[in-house]
Structure 1
Amino acid sequence: VGALPPKYAVEVKDIIMTPPSDSKYVKIIDELIKRLSASQEEKTRQLLERVEIGDRKPSQFLRHLQNLADSSIPETLLKILWMGRLPKSIQVALTIVKDSKLEELAVHADNIADASGPLLPQIAETSRSDTLEAMLNLKISQLTLSINQEIATLRSDVAAINSRPSRNPDSRPSTFRSRSRSRSRTLHGANGLCWYHWRYGSQSRKCKEPCTYNSGKRDWSSMTTASETSPSPRRLFITDRTSQTQFLIDTGADLCVYPRSAVPDR
């Protein structure tokens, strides 16, 4: 017993702990062979579990399993192994008649397979599913790459715009302003005024023909200003050159007198 490897000793631990009264070594060897050797039924079951239906009809697949099995495999186990290898759609349909005999189930399975089209191998279904998943992953990867490229381009454009120097509207060339100013001075309003009178009105000191500002009025140039030569330096007159009438400008003097003789009769 001491020469028995540990992995085998574990299998017959119960016999080692409570050995029989006689032939204990023979008992240990027999139990090891029995416990470590798979039964013929187990070997056959493992063989049948690795068999796929392929392109066979359900009834053909059943006969193939029956040929591989021997009398040690009960019909109930063969039924379970056979139905477990059928396509899922046929398995679901057979649940209605699952209590029928195995041969009858095979006939029903053939009818269902004929109605639903040719059977595809299970491995083919798995391969097709894997292919579709791979194609979907490829499309997602391509879409993600395209989106990342668009984002990178957009960021580059924004960075280029931000790096440009800002343009000041007032920093245009002086020649442009000069041309604009010279052109604007030649413009006339809708009422026929020159640019100076249109811009400054009565405060204008210049005029450019044609201009209708003085039409029907006194000539602007006929109004002049002159300083009074009297001792008081704070009085200022405006003389109308046409009538030679003087008008006193209120400059803050204490007294402002307008001669009665200069007042026209009412």
Structure 2
Amino acid sequence: MSTENNAEVAATAAVSIKLPDFWKNDPVMWFAQAEAQFALGRVVNDETKYYHIIGKVDQTVICHISDLVVAPPADNKYAAVKERLISRFVLSAETRLERLLGSYELGDLRPTHLLAKMRELAIGLKVDDNLLKMLFIQRLPVNVRPILSCHDGTLDKLAEMADKMVGVTSSLTTAAVDDAAGPSGASGLQEQVDFLTAEVRRLTTSERTRNRSASRGRSSSKSRTGSQKEVCWYHRKYGRDAHQCREPCAFNSKN
């Protein structure tokens, strides 16, 4: 391929690069993604990369690099902009430690997602898994903390188990609110609390069984989990006598 053709291919690749808007809350990962796109598009020219970055910062960001925009350095323009933006927007070690120790909450995140964000905050802080486990459990709902505190598996396994338990809690809470409006609301709520307790025990037993015997535990867990997902709570509790049904439910198709 001629030099002229190579230049045309490079120009086309450079134009095809579509970077997201600059992430003020995570500049390091934003530049990592930008550089991945540069690599895929075979963009190596310093000035081309520099202009791609300038084109993706808004007014609140560009003021931090105004001198590099008005009078860019003769060489290493991209490196200069990258270093400046990261230094201005990356969270300090003190801020990350403060968030990790006190201000980071579960909110509407799944526990596995919360753990990922906590691990990101912990980068470079020399936080071991035991401390991270304690901080992670403190941010979970109070009704699942005691069981997970006794869990001796990996932190990833603990987070996966927390996903299941929080999911069960959320679905039963919704059902409890619906049923509480009726005359038998109190008894229905108690029944669902009892069911939640049994479900938590089942999840814990399932996890321990997998640790003792991987092959037997997997088949047993899949069988139990499958049956729980196919039939709604009302039909699991009352069978054919159930007066309500919550989708998805395969009870009628089975009977």
More helix by share: 2
Instruction: Tell me which of the two structures has the higher relative contact order, counting C-alpha pairs closer than 8 angstroms and 6 or more residues apart.
Output: 2
TM-score w.r.t. the length of structure 2 is 0.28
More strand by share: 1
